[in-house]
Amino acid sequence: MQIGETTFDWGTKTFVMGVLNVTPDSFSRDGVGTDVERAVEQALRFQEWGADIIDIGGESTRPASIYPDSEMVSVVDELDRVLPVIEALTHLLEIPISIDTYKSEVATQAIASGAEIVNDVWGLTRDPDIGAVIAKSGVPVILTHNQAHTRYRDVVPDVFGRLHELTQNAIELGISKENIILDPGMGFGKTAQHNLQILRRLREFDALDMPLLVGMSRKSTIGYVLDLPVDDRIEGTAATVAISIANGADIVRVHDVKEMARVAKMTDAIVRGWEPRSDS
């Protein structure tokens, strides 16, 4: 897959997506707010630490069922948060910028400003125009499974089936299959048990024959299992990253880029093989 000027050769390694929240209310408490300088510095650190993509978000995606104070952000406010950062980073980064949004107007302006992939946590279902925007631009898209409840007959085949539907819908809207990445949506309309089961059975998603992104970084499931606050979940996140890679993830979306890039590299060495560097 081509994302901007970068070729992503799935299966050769696990790619690391660094989360850059330009929000005051990120669930993970890592948001840089509207401080463009801080955001740029963080993104450049992510690149130095081994990130392959920077995912910029201007609206918290934390579930309202867990965080009752979650509020929708207006298009104007979201643009005010993300555009200055994208514009500042476009000529500084050597890796692609992703825009984390489900709003067509935000996607349009973000792409025009330099974003090279759209990460839609609602899989093109919230805004009827966003699919056409992505299709016209030709940028890749991440389609995430999401729903407003936690009812499933069997979570893995149910999520699998819905991801297949989202893929077909995107193709019908004019998006190339080769430009689609799928995300099972850890924590979105799922209990902790659902999330853990998806991780255990991640290989079942291989049958979709699509690149797979997994984002369990600092999620509530880790907090429930370890009884730890959101800013003390690095070891739990490391476990989910390693298991995701072992079970077939192509991209891991993380907040702690320095540490998780190392975890990904070590897990890749075990799972995919490793050769020492030649000193010649």
pLDDT along the chain (280 residues), means of 10: 96 98 66 81 98 96 52 91 97 98 98 98 97 98 97 98 98 98 98 98 98 98 97 98 99 98 98 82
Q: Is 219 a catalytic residue?
A: yes
**Cα(212)–Cα(205) distance, rounded to whole angstroms?**
8
Query: What pLDDT shows up at residue 30?
Result: 56
Closest CA to 186 of 236, 129, 229, 228: 236
Distances (CA, A) of 133 to 68, 127, 137, 158: 31, 11, 6, 28
Residue 139: helix, strand or coil by DSSP? coil
Q: Which fold has domain 12-271?
A: TIM Barrel (3.20.20)
User: What pLDDT sits at residue 192?
Assistant: 97
According to DSSP, the residues that pair with 181 across neighbouring strands are 142
Report CA 191 to chain centroid distance, whole Å.
19
Q: Is 153 a catalytic residue?
A: no
SS3 18: strand
Query: For residue 130, which amino acid is it?
Result: I
Catalytic residue among 81, 162, 219, 233: 219
Active-site hit among 253, 258, 265, 272: 253
The pLDDT value given to residue 62:
60
Full-model pTM: 0.93
Q: How far apart are CA 58 and CA 136, in angstroms?
A: 23
Reported as half-sphere exposure (CB side, CA atoms, 13 A), residue 182 has a value of: 27
Domain limits, the chain: 12-271
Q: What are the beta bridge partners of residue 114?
A: none
